[in-house]
Amino acid sequence: MTPLRIASFSSDGSGGNPAGVVISDHLPDPDQMQSIAAELGFSETAFATPEGDAWRVRYYAPVGEVAFCGHATIALGAALGAQKGAGQFDLNLRDAKITVEAIEKNGTWQAALQSPETWSRQLDDKLGVQLLSLFALTGEDLDPMLPPTLAFAGVKHAILTLKDRTKLGQMSYPFEAMRALMAEHALVTVSLLYIDGPRLFEARNAFASGGVVEDPATGAAAAALGGALVDINWDGLRTGGSFEISQGMDMGAPSRLTVNVTGTPGASVRVSGAVRWM
């Protein structure tokens, strides 16, 4: 059960979000999975074991289990591809069933996940004010083009869009206060976004809920954003299409996520990217 260390959504062979991957003939008990995840110290570690024609998968952050993690799924997909060959793998998660596709191009592995079903709604005003306060922001810092949103793709994410790129680069917050607020509202991440163009976003994701200050690339949040943008028909996405997310630049870990949507509200979202072994 030697963990693999794989960075997902890497950009030009660098950066990406490190994840642990453990593939074994049985899942360790929960305490052992938690211990391994804490020892690795990555934002998430994926544990997988064969289950019929599919794979049973669990995700652990350093401080607890997570129902779904995008970048660890991408890492797992690439690891399964390297072991079993390119193709699609069915994954039975704790709360959902999804797929991940492993793709090899010129000796480099990529993977694409299909998220759980999605939903979104306006973020509660009180929660929005509390989050802004923790980030030392106000309503004046928000971009009205994309109002504060609560979005779901396997787990819940709050989305706040800023009109000033400088504010995004200055992201900071009191860790324990943020973790308590996220736990109260069952938020897995809080996404701060900047709109670089109709189909290009820059993102930073606070992940205090998992014991980590920030994720350099967040596939689950990308899927949730995809579902939310379809719900409001952002730039005509009700007819389907794709957009890009640049993340991790402010952390020195440049990452790139490609998001494809069908255009159907509530549908699964495809999130893809390249990986690198660490």
The tens-digit pLDDT sequence of the chain (278 residues) is: 789 999 999 998 899 999 999 999 999 999 999 999 999 999 999 999 999 999 999 999 999 999 999 999 999 999 999 999 999 999 999 999 999 999 998 889 999 999 999 999 999 999 999 999 999 999 999 999 999 999 999 999 999 999 999 999 999 999 999 999 999 999 999 999 999 999 999 999 999 999 999 999 999 999 999 999 999 999 999 999 999 999 999 999 999 999 999 999 999 999 999 999 99
Strand, coil or helix: 16: coil
Cβ atoms of 46 and 57 within 8 Å: the answer is yes
Q: How far apart are CA 217 and CA 8, in angstroms?
A: 7
Strand, coil or helix: 100: strand
- The model's pTM is 0.95
Cβ atoms of 80 and 91 within 8 Å: the answer is no
Degrees to nearest 5, angle at CA 246 with 237 and 67: 75
HSE at residue 130, side-chain half, CA atoms within 13 A, is 15
Q: How far apart are CA 128 and CA 226, in angstroms?
A: 20
Helices (H), 7-144: 30-40, 70-84, 125-134
Phi/psi for 89 (5° steps) reads: -125, 130
Q: Give strand ranges (E) for the chain.
A: 4-10, 17-23, 45-51, 54-61, 64-66, 87-92, 97-105, 108-114, 118-122, 149-153, 156-162, 187-197, 200-207, 212-215, 241-247, 255-261, 270-277
Give every CB contact of residue 105 below 8 A, 6+ residues apart in sequence. none
Look at residue 106 in the predicted model and tell me its pLDDT. Answer: 85
Strands 156-162 and 187-197: parallel
Look at residue 1 in the predicted model and tell me its pLDDT. Answer: 73
Max Cα–Cα distance, the chain, nearest Å: 53
Q: How far apart are CA 273 and CA 258, in angstroms?
A: 6
Look at residue 107 in the predicted model and tell me its pLDDT. Answer: 85
Strand, coil or helix: 122: strand
Q: How far apart are CA 214 and CA 63, in angstroms?
A: 14
Neighbours of 178 (CB within 10 A): 21
DSSP designation for 226 = H
